[in-house]
Chains A and B, each alone.
Chain A
Amino acid sequence: MAYEALDFFDIDSLLTEEERMVRDMVRDWVEERVLPNIEDACRDGVFPDEWRAEIGEMGILGAPLEGYGCPGLSYIAYGLICQELERGDSGVRSFASVQGSLAMYPIWDFGSEEQKEKYLPGMAKGDLVGCFGLTEPDYGSNPGDMITRAEDKGDHFLLNGAKMWITNGTIADLAVVWAKLDGEIRGFIVEKDDEGFSAPEMKGKHSLKASVTSELVFQDCKIPKDRILPDVKGLRGPFSCLNNARYGISWGAVGAAQSCFNSAREYALSRIQFGHPIASFQLVQNKLSWMLREITKGQLLAYHIGKKKDDGSWIPEQISLAKMNNVDMALEIARMSRDIHGANGILDEYPVMRHMANLESVKTYEGTHDIHNLILGRHITGIQSFTREP
């Protein structure tokens, strides 16, 4: 049966024809290429290289960026791309989020003309893969205290330190790395063959299994002077990247939730217990209507913040709310959907347990659920509660 994405409030009617066409292109690709192969990719713990190439051919990487071979689509279109990719798998959406929002965006916004010319066209095509190094083994929610250091050695920079939980790290051709130079956070572009740089893959994940997660290790890593991002200093650099990625996640989570909802509805209609489809029982209907209600609210949040991204009237706290709410609802829907599937819900014949395990990561990365609450708490009260320091 054809996939009919839940769209109870007819968000579709608010989209432009171009946005719908891009959405359908990605939806068809996910249907043809991701869904038949995702369980194998998870079992093998790989992000298939042909997916990288095909995502590049579709021309969706760095969707809202303009110039330098980038697509120049609306933020709504970027959101729809994330939604469709994550309906397939959060790992696939993670690949695109990291490439576009975390690696291409800082080069596009803070890079020199030469850096933009050198990297962006290849990254937009997927020929060059990027990653983003901010989180460290001991500094996750608190990146401002990072240990990784850069030293100015006259004709080059020397990087020392380590990053962790880096999506795409091992397969990346370049890394946008945040490190302290004279006590101030700066962005650096590290290429995979740079001396003193390695990116070992982290193994043993129960979540995002079709996504590459790595450490980045810098041991007297020597990089040329022209690899510093000239136009940004401090946490504003990484945080502005995260705002874009978090925005995309607010749509992606809707896609994962739609997938879980669809599977639950189909299963409930076909599963007979006590002589009737379980969809005819009130407890199951109550769950399905809760899912519909929460997905619909999440779609409206994502669409509205998308419009604000497009007209520039957004504030970061709104993105925090959208990311936090939508991932939270998607995870709850995945769990509820698993419940409706009964024992069958744990099998890889259905997508729900995979989405559920993935969403545990999505809830934590790009600002944990709790950190987004603290961002909102500060917005409401004017009092920051991240640290005990005044």
Chain B
Amino acid sequence: MGVAVLLKQVPDTTAKISISGGRVDEASITKWSISPYDEYALENAIKLKESGFGDVVAITCGPSRSAKCLTEAAAVGADRLIHIISESPLDSIQVQSLLSAAVKESGCDVVMCGKQAADTNSGSTGPGLAASLGFSCVGGATEVSMDGGVASATRLGPSGMEEVEVGVPCVFTFDKGDSELRRPNVRGIMMAKKKPIDIFAPDDLGVDVSNSMVSIKSHSSPPEKQPGQKFVGSDSIPEVVSKLREEANVI
């Protein structure tokens, strides 16, 4: 029993992203953070732990700098920390294989993660991991509670909130909910500093990451937003109507 929480370190949502040589220039990113949706997963996992449901195992897969998100998770209550170190970029399938091996190693039968990462937005980790582990998967949860071997999840359904019951083992991906990640305190930070991090290389987990089926050709910045247009006076009404009809296609 226990909850594995998957944390991805991403550029902070307020960080300035620049492109150099057709690639995101990681060296110029000054602030890295836990991906916000993963924070909802972490908060829920800690709440489950507080309600008596086993330990929280925080797992990250990424370069050495991403150890910071494990220490941050420990500062708010994660019990065990696992870092799969890969300095080179990985594709989604490789990440899922590595995380799946780490979850097996942890012995956890409940897995929580964000519904998508704030940088790549691919949304494939949770479902892919569930497929690879043979676990059930509930996507877009905002709250998960456990009663015996059955989990109840609240998620946004087609016409309102939906309550789902599912047996473990299961993967839950999290959407933005009401509860934000708690703030750490000094005591938590001092305990976190002493907490060891279990480090695995892909080879240690028996995962071959030498061949990728995906290659990223290039990155580019989104086009600059066009400035707004200003219309003054009733004379401009025909022009506004025609622009709304022909350019914006909204009427």
CB within 8 Å of B: which residues of A?
1-2, 4, 17-18, 21-22, 25, 28-29, 57-60, 63, 71-73
Kindly identify which residue among B12, B31, B184 contacts A25, using a CB–CB cutoff of 8 Å. Answer: B184
Asked if residues A22 and B186 are in contact (CB atoms below 8 Å), the reply is yes
Are B12 and A2 closer than 8 Å at their CB atoms? yes
- The docked-state distance in angstroms from the alpha carbon of A6 to that of B31 is 14
Q: Is A28's CB under 8 angstroms from B193's CB?
A: no
Q: How far is the CB of A29 from chain B (nearest CB, A)?
A: 6
Q: What CA separation (Å) do A101 and B190 show in the bound complex?
A: 21
Chain B residues in 8 Å Cβ range of A21: 71-72, 75, 184, 189, 192-193
Is B183 at the interface (CB under 8 A from chain A)? yes
Is A58 within 8 A of B193, CB to CB? no
Whether B71 contacts A59 by the Cβ 8 Å rule is no
Return B173 CB to nearest CB of chain A, in Å.
25
| Contact indicator B14/A18 (Cβ below 8 Å) | no
Mind listing 10 A-B residue pairs with CB under 8 Å? A2-B12, A2-B15, A17-B193, A21-B71, A21-B72, A21-B75, A57-B183, A58-B186, A59-B185, A59-B187
- Note all chain B residues with C-beta closer than 8 A to A28: 183
* Nearest CB of B to A66, in Å: 12
CB distance from A144 to the nearest CB of B (A): 37
Q: Nearest B residue to A21 by beta-carbon distance?
A: B189
List, in ascending order, chain B residues with CB within 8 A of A72's CB: 190
A1 to B30 CA separation, bound complex (whole angstroms): 13
CA distance A54 to B192 in the complex (A): 20
Give the Cβ gap from A329 to chain B, nearest Cβ, in Å: 25
Q: A2 vs B30: C-alpha distance in the bound complex, in angstroms? A: 10
Q: Which residues of A contact B30 (CB under 8 A)?
A: 4
What CA separation (Å) do A59 and B187 show in the bound complex? 7
Known: A2-B15, A28-B183, A29-B183. Contact between A22 and B31, CB under 8 A? Answer: no
Tell me which residues across on chain B come within 8 A of A57, comparing CB atoms.
183, 185
CB nearest neighbor in B for A29: B183
Residue of B nearest to A20 (CB): B68
Q: Closest chain A residue to B72 by CB distance? A: A21
Q: Which residues of B contact A58 (CB under 8 A)?
A: 183, 185-186
CA distance A97 to B189 in the complex (A): 21
B14 contacts A25, C-beta separation under 8 Å: no
Q: How far is the CA of A63 from the CA of B187 in the complex (A)?
A: 11
Known interface pairs A2-B15, A17-B71; A22-B189 also in contact (CB < 8 Å) = yes
- Residue of A at shortest CB range from B185? A59
Tell me the complex Cα distance, A63–B183, Å. Answer: 18
Of residues 24 to 82 in B, which have CB atoms within 8 Å of A's CB atoms? 30-31, 71-72, 75
Q: Across the interface, which residues of A come within 8 angstroms of B184, CB to CB?
A: 21, 25
Q: A320–B189 Cα gap in the complex (Å)? A: 32
B64 CB to nearest A CB, Å: 13
- Residue pair A18, B31 in contact (C-beta under 8 Å): no
**B227 CB, nearest partner CB in chain A, Å:** 15
Q: How far is the CB of B70 from chain A (nearest CB, A)?
A: 12
> Which of B12, B72, B186, B192 meets A59, CB within 8 Å?
B186
For B187, the chain A residues whose CB sits under 8 A away are 59, 71
Q: A17-B71, A58-B185, A71-B190 are in contact. List 8 more A-B contacts (CB 8 A).
A: A2-B31, A18-B189, A18-B193, A21-B71, A21-B189, A21-B192, A25-B183, A59-B185
How far, in whole Å, are A72 and B186 apart by their CA atoms in the complex? 9
CB distance from A114 to the nearest CB of B (A): 25
Could you tell me the distance in whole angstroms from the C-beta of A230 to the nearest C-beta in chain B?
29
Contact partners of B14 in chain A: CB under 8 A: 1-2
Taken residue by residue from 226 to 244, chain B's Cβ proximity to chain A (1 for < 8 Å, 0 otherwise) reads as 0000000000000000000
Nearest opposing residue in chain B for A19, CB measure: B189
* Cα distance A72–B192 in the bound complex, in angstroms: 15
Give CA–CA (A60, B12) in the complex, Å: 25
B31 & A71 in contact (Cβ 8 Å cutoff): no
A22 to B15, CA, bound (A): 20
User: Closest residue to B186 on the A side, CB-wise?
Assistant: A59
CB distance from A217 to the nearest CB of B (A): 36
- In the complex, which residues of chain B have a beta carbon less than 8 angstroms from the beta carbon of A17? 71, 193
Residues of A within 8 A of B71 (CB): 17, 21
Provide the residues of chain A in CB contact with B189, threshold 8 Å: 18, 21-22, 25
Min CB–CB distance A6 → chain B (angstroms): 12
Closest beta carbon of chain A to B215's beta carbon, Å: 32
Rounded to whole angstroms, the CA-CA distance of A22 and B184 in the bound complex is 9
Could you say which residues of chain B place their CB within 8 Å of the CB of A4? 30
B15 A18 Cβ-Cβ under 8 A: no
- Chain B contacts for A60, CB-based, 8 A: 186
Residues of chain B in range 176-227 having any CB-CB distance to chain A below 8 Å: 183-187, 189-190, 192-193
Interchain CA distance A25-B14 in the complex, whole Å: 17
Query: With A and B bound together, what is the CA distance between A2 and B183 in angstroms?
Result: 18
Q: For the complex, what is the distance from the CA of A69 to the CA of B96, rounded to whole Å?
A: 43
| Distance in Å: Cβ of A79 to nearest Cβ of chain B | 15
CA distance A59 to B186 in the complex (A): 5
B179 to chain A, nearest CB (A): 15
Query: Complex formed: what's the CA distance from A15 to B142 in Å?
Result: 37
The 8 A CB mask of B165-176 against A (1 = contact, 0 = none) is 000000000000
A57, B186: Cα distance in complex, Å: 9
Distance in Å: Cβ of B35 to nearest Cβ of chain A: 16
Considering only CB atoms, which chain A residue lies closest to B75 in the complex?
A21
Q: Which residues of A contact B12 (CB under 8 A)?
A: 2
**Across chains A and B, which 6 residue pairs bring their CB atoms closest together, nearest first?**
A2-B14, A59-B186, A59-B185, A71-B186, A21-B189, A18-B193
Assembly CA distance A25 to B182 (angstroms): 11
A57 closest partner in B (C-beta): B185
Q: Which residues of the other chain, A, contact B15 by a CB distance below 8 angstroms? A: 2
Q: Which residues of A contact B193 (CB under 8 A)?
A: 17-18, 21
Q: How far is the CB of B123 from the nearest CB of chain A, in Å?
A: 25
